[in-house]
Structure 1
Amino acid sequence: MNETLNILLVDDEPNILMALRRLLMDEDFGVLTAESGRVALDLLRETPDVGVIVSDQRMPGMTGVEFLEQARGLVPDALRILLTGYADMEATIAAINRGGAYRYLTKPWDDQVLLMTLREAVTQVRLRRENDRLTQIVNRQNEELRQWNGRLKSRVLEQTAEIRKKNEELRTKNSRLKANYRDTIGALSGLLEMRAPHMRNHARNVCALAMGVAAAMDLPEEGREELQVAALLHDIGEIGTPDALLRRRAEDLHGEELFTYLQHTVRGQMAIDAITDLRGAGLLIRHHHEHFDGGGYPDALQGSAIPLGSRIIALADFIDRNLPRHDERAADLVLIQLQPHLGSRFDTSLYPYFDTVVREHYGPPVNAQGMVPRLAQPAELYCGMVLNEDLFSSTGLLLLSRNAVLDDQAIAAIHRYHELDPFRRGIAVLTPR
């Protein structure tokens, strides 16, 4: 579990490599450096035990994305991290799609964030290697059981107990990997929303509405997971849309501007198509602006030809975009505004499910009766408090949604976020009288 593991740092600036070496000198992993992508590739051929690769994006001769794409073929199991500037969003997406990037960090980096990211990456590589080792053990022991069956009953029972233990460890580690996958999707969604502050928390609201409807309709688990990813990433195609168009309503666009905007659903599908497990979600993203009467885009699908998940996201997207926020009657008003579009733009059969879910999601906090609002510091939080507002970091990332009931895990996470990016004001909560 704690075998020697090397990380490879790639940057064309020697002073940056020296700074990174100093930062990492006390860590429990080896550090290798290279001043270009080609030198790094040669090093990977000679040192295949590299577990983590950190590469700058802007390098002469070979960009970080190009290097990570080739490095993926040499050490496919290594986690790849891209160092990039805020302006390199296209490079970031390319690193995820082509280079299989695990994370990206912005330059200049924060030392503590960089250290935490590298430690987590090293831990994950070690867990994965341990996972592989345990799998080999399980396979070998299963073969031994087949050979010893009938001769060493006591030995069989002993090995069965060991196998169960190892399988439980594997399930735990696989659950952790799956949770990391969900967290990555959520983080990417939050990053996309930072581009348009007026739509902050939009994707999470759409996801919450869609998942509430999916639960009410008792959709299969596999379909719910696909819907969840699509709802969180439904606007990913807007990355390629000019800011000037995003600030205007689609109804006010014409000609070439309208055509450019309407392509964001196709771009959204294409952005994640390279990831096999996300292709189903990509199809839902493509069609979430189709109209039930066939008047939508990009393919003018009609009725049941539109995927059910796309029809659900379409309704949720409309509701959250048109919600009259800061109005106590918000849920009632947006549902009234929705009704003229039923049967033409939206699937009428979905309305009863949304009626209940919308009132629950945008209504008063759960169990808020008898509670009073206040601003609390992280050290004052305790279990049972309810968030009275969405909780954002000082840099604008959504951390927890309104109505969340605080437990030990949530409070620990808030303390961790506060250490990384201290809150500028108190946390809006509801507390018992």
Structure 2
Amino acid sequence: MDATEKILFVDDEPNILATFKRNLHRKYVVETATGGEEGLALIQSRGPFAVVVSDLKMPVMDGITFLEKVRAIHPDSVRVILSGQGDFDAAIDAVNRGAVFRFLTKPCPPETLLTVLREAFRQYRLITAEKELLRGTLLGSVKVLVDVLSLVSPEAFGRSERIRSVVAALGKRLNETNLWQLDVAAMLCQLGCVGLPEDLLGKVMRDEPLSAEEQQVYSMHPGIGASLLSNIPRMAGVAQIIARQMNDYTPETPMGARVLRVALDYDRLEQQGMNAHEAAQTLTQRNTAKQYDPAVLNALLNMMMEQEGGEVRAIRLEHLEAGMVLGRDLVNAEGTVLMLKGQTVSESGLVRLRALSDLLQVSSPIHVLYPRQRAV
């Protein structure tokens, strides 16, 4: 739903919330919550909201902490504090921690509140309009670069196009937050190849030995591509991913670069005639030196298993491991879904399940996907 006219009020006094809704429902789409936790849940389920107005003093979670969390979830939402305490120190804290647009005191005259809300909505529209303009400019720049790549180096362009769907799927499985950045990095990861001979790219794809000079020339393409992108505003993150796409895995390597490294080598094996499962297994077997991020490889293997319809097996909770994929929904004794079918078990999720197994009443056995046994 469009957030342009949506507003969320959070206050621990239901009668105040009812007044807001009664007075404003004709002008705006108004949602209310009686506390910070309920407000955050509403933002996740019905957000984003253009404007979020919160009381300052609330039990469990105060208004400043709540708006600080709102800022982290949806930084574009314009945040307003409405409090019965005209506390100057609290106002400063609210502005510093929650980037609050306005600080109002109760009782707030209706005309004052309406004026502030109109200003807040205007601020939201300015923020989103600027972002949309920037997004359009970036998309235009990306399209030009992709078109140039397709004309100058069809081999490199084809490789970028082939890996896009794999990179996007891996990004979702790994819970990457900036999927747009990852997609652009996949589209432009071969940009530095525009000046390379097609026969050199062909040798790379066929995994043929390169001379020392050829290897040096080819290894320069990530840096060249990143340098070309560094002149475009807001593309620094994409440039960093592209610059490090051939690096071996370290904890400091950007996740996008780790995904590109796996996706590009996976594509090369497929182009050499391996099927999807064989290519994924080969990368895993080659990872003795840990040049690939094991989490990315696990995500790739699990993705291949699902596409091939892996075998569902029942195991006990103590045998569940991080990286396994659920073959059925994981439910508790009451039938409440704890984890969805197809979800990859994360390290944190596994720790939570084991630590809280009695409290969560995890049903046993747990059904997970295993690769089907292949005929020799």
Task: Give the TM-score category using the shorter length.
Answer: 0.3 to 0.5
Scaled by the length of structure 1, what TM-score is found? 0.40
Scaled by the length of structure 2, what TM-score is found? 0.45
